[in-house]
Amino acid sequence: MILLTLIASVLIAMVSIFQYRNEAVQYHKERLRMKEDAIRASINYELRKTSYEVTTDNIPYIFKDKIYEIQDIHNLSLLLFDLDGNLLKSSKAAFYETPTDTIPMRILNQLNSASDKRYVEHFREDTLRYISSYSYITDNYFKPLAILNLPYIEEDDFISKELRFFLHRLAEVYIFMMIISVIIAYYLSKNITKSLLDISEKIQKTRFDKSNKKIDTQAVGSEILPLVTAYNRMIDQLEISAQALAASERESAWREMAKQVAHEIKNPLTPMRLTVQSFERKFDKNDPQIEEKIKEFSSSLIQQIDTMSSIASAFSTYAKMPAQKDDNLNLVKITKLALDIFNEPYIHFTAEEKEIYVTLDRTQWIRVITNLVKNAVQATENTPDPQIDIHVYSAAEEAVITVSDNGKGIPPDLLEKVFEPKFTTKSSGMGLGLAMVKSIVESYNGRITLYSELHKQTVFTIVFPKFTPKK
């Protein structure tokens, strides 16, 4: 409202100034025309009663003294020029600051080409604005005798005074209107919009996980009563939806937990099966190292059984995954041990150092490596010359493990989703493996990244802070 009032006042002031100026220009034009007609009548009267022969050369003699009388009567200076534009007689010798004795040729051309044989020129000289009219004086036979020039000063003092008076009054009116607008706007925001502010605050405080207060419909005006009623109805529906969602989330959480536990139990079964198959295939009672191999196979099976046992125990107590046991482990040794269950000849393990220590849970790290290598094996199933490389090395204060394969790769649009729960590109499985891997890595202040090119290479890189054992 205040802005509209201000804009209206400025526009009206601009229109008023424009209108006054147009009226001033029109007023001066009409006033000059009236004076010109009166002066021409006086000149024609003198030409009729003069005793001199009415010729161009006698004009200075005819109007020798009469030109000053005409100037005094009409309060306007006048100049008489011959037909070539040379000055014959002037009522004021120095009317202009720069006197002129001839009419410029451009004005003569304009005068001759005008249909009414009259030309009006607007110009400035110093701070004064002039209107100068040129017209022909004729004898009784309408033969041109001379050119009459009437220089007229545009004096706008009266009109400017009127304009200032009008703008002053206009300013007073609009200042009063501005004050009224401010008062009205204040009360509108204070009273009418108060309920809207209350609704805004209520909506900002609305939470899905707690009870929300309704707005009293008796405290609002009829203008926004439908809005308040709709808000209260939304609060009721929100309460119902929250209860339904809570029940659904509890059910979904138990389902998700069951899937996670099933996935975690399934992980140790695969290496156990591979270990038994490897033991069956490689068992030779005549092998001099048979006892050592049996002990190694047994140790691997016991580790996986312990993992399953810990998962089952944890699920029986609050349905949680096994609690982390922080140990300072030799990453090189534990990673190599985790890879012993795989029999694929194209799986290669390399390490730049013999000992790189990190703080990890032994069981969970075996699960991470097992999951990543198993995914790599599945990704290279249809590759003519499969190759899987696991590399461990140090980088400054960090330990780095890379698992790379030359399998089918992962499409670029799916790279950001591979670590999401339930996401999988396989025809079987629940898509929890890589999500579990990411969770375990991050729980030990580590980070995991993925780089993949379709049908070329896929590289998982895991980084952990190194642990420096005390000597």
Q: Per-residue pLDDT tens for 381-425?
A: 888 899 999 999 999 899 999 999 999 888 888 887 787 765 455
CA distance 7 to 9: 5
Vertex 204 angle, CA 202 and 210, to 5°: 75
pLDDT in tens, 309-368: 766 665 554 344 455 677 889 999 999 998 988 888 999 999 999 999 999 988 889 989
Please tell me whether residues 16 and 71 are part of one structural domain: yes
Domain end marker among 278, 295, 323: 323
Q: Which residue has the tokens 């809207």?
A: 196
Q: Into how many domains does the chain fold?
A: 3
If asked whether residues 338 and 307 sit together in one domain, one would say no
φ, ψ dihedrals at 454, nearest 5°: -60, 130
| Sign of the four-CA dihedral 56, 57, 60, 61 | negative
In a domain, 170, yes or no: no
Q: How confident is the model at residue 286, as a pLDDT?
A: 74
Tokens of 388: 């899987």
- CA–CA distance, 35 with 76 (Å, rounded to integer): 8
CA angle in degrees (0–180, nearest 5) for 310-368-360: 70
Do 317 and 338 lie in a common domain? no
Are 297 and 434 contained in the same domain? no
Q: What is the pLDDT of residues 1-17, one digit of tens each?
A: 778 778 888 888 888 78
The CATH code of the domain that includes 79 is: 3.30.450.20
**pLDDT in the model for residue 400:** 95
126 and 7: one domain? yes
- Give the sign of the dihedral formed by CA 210, CA 216, CA 217, CA 223: negative
Q: Are 184 and 1 in contact (CB under 8 A)?
A: yes
The amino acid present at 141, given as its one-letter code, is Y
Structural domain for 119, as ranges: 2-161
Question: Do 157 and 270 share a domain, yes or no?
Answer: no
Are 12 and 58 members of one domain?
A: yes
Domain co-membership, 9 together with 136: yes
Write the DSSP symbol of residue 466: B
Any domain includes 56: yes
pTM over 0.75: no
Q: Are residues 152 and 210 in the same domain?
A: no
The answer to whether residue 200 sits within a structural domain is no
Residue 295 lies in a domain: yes
Residues 307 and 422 in one domain: no
- Maximum average pLDDT range among 193-207, 242-256, 282-296, 383-397: 383-397
Q: Report pLDDT for 159.
A: 62
Q: Domain for residue 27, yes or no?
A: yes
